[in-house]
Amino acid sequence: MRFFAILCLVLSFSSCNLLSKFGLNLTETNLSELDKLVEMSKGPCYGRCPVYDFVIYDNGIMTYEGKRFTEREGLYIKKMPESGLKELKTILQSANLRQFRDAYRARVPDLQSVSITYYKDDYIKTIIGKDGRPEKVMEVQGELEKFADSEGWELYAKQGDDLPEYIAEDELRIVLHDGVDINAWVRKYRRQGMEVVRNMSKNNNLWLVSFNATKNDPREVLAIVQADLEVANAEFNRKSTN
């Protein structure tokens, strides 16, 4: 606060508002209003692999949610430099992730599973696997890891806090692997009261599903679905801002 006050004395009031908008109040950012660019999720292994979700939004804002065996536990937020964002977009474009399969079967079962999802206009591409993934995919992962392991993060929400207000805690957006039938899939989750709400993309096996959040812990349901081998990607749905 003292630093911010000094800035306001040196700069004009309008300049201070501009600084606040572009970095000093990141923890007040409404993530539901942002468009994702790319995200990476690292799952558990048989050892102490860091388990976290990492998201980069189209405007350069990044979030890191440390879950297990990470230096940062909870949800953190940060803004990357414009130069870094421009370079990353170039790398994602040149990688041409569309050319690769959605899933790669592991040859070493105890390795960590990594999921990378790229958002381009109305197209969503998810690639999940352990070892044996293409070199271009590994290059993208390496770039994302550099940002995820960087310094300067601000705490957005402590681990175990209530879900953010913009989250619909009884709804999930899921991407099923090609060939997986949504109706057969939801039947596996009768105990959770899973139901199909609607298809969310004509080009992808992307679905909105609901479940009974009164009788089931929403975080536990999400974790179970994310570990499902028929699921390429899963996340909570966002409440409508309309």
Mean pLDDT of 24-31: 82
Helices (H), the chain: 2-10, 13-19, 82-95, 135-148, 182-187, 218-226
User: Do 172 and 201 contact (CB within 8 A), yes or no?
Assistant: no
Token representation of residue 119: 């958002």
Q: Is the pLDDT of residue 120 over 70?
A: yes
> What are the tens digits of pLDDT across the range 181-225?
999 999 999 989 999 999 988 777 899 999 999 888 888 888 888
> What are the tens digits of pLDDT across the range 146-180?
999 999 999 998 876 667 788 899 999 999 998 99
Distance of CA 26 to the CA centre of its chain: 17
User: Do 63 and 36 contact (CB within 8 A), yes or no?
Assistant: no
Q: Is the pLDDT of residue 81 over 80?
A: yes
> What does the pLDDT read at residue 160?
65
In terms of Cβ atoms closer than 10 Å to its own Cβ (0-12, 13-18, 19+), residue 2 is exposed
> What does the pLDDT read at residue 71?
92
The residue count for the chain: 242
The pairs formed by 218-222 with CB atoms below 8 angstroms and a separation of 24 or more are 218/163, 218/169, 218/170, 219/163, 221/172, 221/189, 221/192, 222/172
Please list the residues that pair with 57 across neighbouring strands: 36
> What does the pLDDT read at residue 147?
97
> What does the pLDDT read at residue 118?
96
Of the pLDDT bands very low, low, confident and very high (cuts 50, 70, 90), residue 135 is very high
Token representation of residue 172: 């999930």
Q: Is the pLDDT of residue 77 over 90?
A: yes
What does the DSSP 8-state code read for residue 3? H
What pTM value is reported for the model? Answer: 0.63
What is the rounded distance in angstroms from the CA atom of residue 28 to the CA atom of residue 165? 12
Sheet holding 36-42: strands in order across? 103-104, 123-129, 114-120, 36-42, 51-57, 61-68, 74-79, 154-157
User: Do 130 and 104 contact (CB within 8 A), yes or no?
Assistant: yes
Please list the residues that pair with 115 across neighbouring strands: 41, 128
